[in-house]
Amino acid sequence: MDSFMEFYFEEVFSGMERDGLNVRFKRRELVEYFNAVIAGCARGQNKSDNATCKSFVNCALRYHNRCKSDNGDVCLMGKYHNLLYIAMKLAFDWSLQDNGTVAALLDELHACEGTFERIFLGAIFGTSAPYFLAGWKSDFMDREENIHALVFFLDHATNASLEYKNGSKTYRFIDVPLESCGKASPLRVVIQMGTSEILMILLRFGARITSDHVSSNPIESILDRLKEYNRQYPYELVTCLKLTLRAVPAIYFAIDKAALKHLELPDDYNYQRKHVLEKYGDILEDHLIPASRCGLKPVELKHLCRCTIRHVLWKNFELPFGIRNLPVPPSLKKYLDLCDD
């Protein structure tokens, strides 16, 4: 495989137009070609498909890095960068199990782009919508394949404990901001879309429900949207709310106490209670927010234990598959994995 790829890059790839892989059908044609090459080399060299695919991905990474190095460590983009997406699709197609190789591919993608949009956006919006957001179409066949690919790379990124610097902040793969979505986190974008299926995947893998530079707590954005429906709540949005409430100990609202100073409230006044009842009273009355999850009642001990255990697993890059190794009954494993409440 290595000799074949060296010959291909020197004799074929070098003669390709710089923008020859910009359109999706050209990339798909090359993926089909390399799928046949990998299958043929595996049989001819009596190697496993996985080992041959690993060899291809490593060859592609070496060629990309060599071209990048010759250009002052700046990616040449065009076909040179699209080669990484050919490798990404092939790694998924062959279910490449070599964690180090997939991690190296993800590292190189982030080094060039600073984002993982082309893994996340297709799963969130479908195959064509990213074209209107970012000017490209997904390399995966349909939304279902995009979702499977997202889980595939989430699994590898978790196993490799991948983290990425963005300015002064450090993000895990699952939380790297999406440039074309106002640098919002994937979880925030999914919540805005009301896509509970993808939200469940992100939460199980430990996506952070925290405030960012885009706005305040993402759960507040769900509650504010629910208020707009005059108590005729959309199912998907309600499901998103219930899922997020499983992943955090309770909702903590940003309250401007200075604005209430004129009321001369006592020091121990429950500002959370006042905020919830005044702003989200209807939602609370309709039992969409448990009183124990918004400051009106103490949080259940069982739920607090779940959040603590999940946080420990998250710190050790063990979500969600580390749950299955815990010495607890199957019903509690489902509870810890956010499947039950």
**Residue 249 and residue 304 in contact, taking contact as beta carbons nearer than 8 Å:** yes
Assess contact for 213 and 183: CB atoms under 8 A: yes
Position 196 in a domain: no
State residue 255's pLDDT score. Answer: 61
29-48 exposure pattern, b = at least 16 Cβ within 10 A, e = fewer: ebbeebbebbeebbeeeebe
Residues 51 and 163 in one domain: yes
Predicted pLDDT at 85: 95
For 32, 269, 281, 295, the CA distances from 263, given in Å and listed in that order, are 70, 11, 21, 21
Is 108 part of a structural domain of the chain?
yes
Same domain, residue pair 89 and 13: yes
The reported pLDDT for the residue numbered 170 is: 94
Using a 10 angstrom Cβ sphere, with 0-12 exposed, 13-18 middle and 19 or more buried, the burial of residue 171 is middle
- Say whether both 113 and 18 belong to one domain: yes
**Residues 89, 151 within the same domain:** yes
CA–CA gap between residue 213 and residue 195 (Å, rounded) = 22
Residues 174 and 235 in one domain: no
- The pLDDT of residue 214: 46
Cβ atoms 61, 104 nearer than 8 A: yes
At 127 the pLDDT is 76
Domain boundary among 156, 183, 210: 183
**In-domain check, residue 19:** yes
CA contacts within 13 A on the Cβ side of 121: 24
Do 175 and 230 fall into the same domain?
no
User: Which residue, among 64, 59, 88, 91, has the nearest Cα to 78 in the 3D structure?
Assistant: 64
Domain-located, residue 142: yes
Looking at the domain assignment, is residue 60 inside a domain? yes
Please give the pLDDT value at position 334: 96
- Does 99 share its domain with 154? yes
Structure tokens at 70: 């010759």
- Asked whether residue 164 is domain-assigned, the answer is yes
Q: Is 12 a member of any domain?
A: yes
Flag residues of the chain having pLDDT under 70. Answer: 129-134, 211-216, 254-272
Verify that 42 and 144 share a domain, yes or no.
yes
Q: pTM of the predicted model, to two decimals?
A: 0.91
Is residue 233 domain-shared with residue 325, that is, in the same domain?
yes
Q: Quote the pLDDT of residue 4.
A: 87
| Residue 168 in tokens | 């002064």
Based on the fold, state whether residues 136 and 246 are members of the same structural domain: no
* CA-to-CA separations, 71 to 68, 97, 129, in angstroms, rounded: 5, 32, 33
For residue 220, the model assigns a pLDDT of: 87
Are 134 and 179 contained in the same domain? yes
> So what's the pLDDT on residue 276?
82
201, part of any domain: no
Helix (H, G, I), strand (E, B) or coil at 203: helix
pLDDT of residue 257: 55
> What is the domain count for the chain?
2
Q: Which domain holds residue 307?
A: 218-337
301 and 223 part of one domain: yes
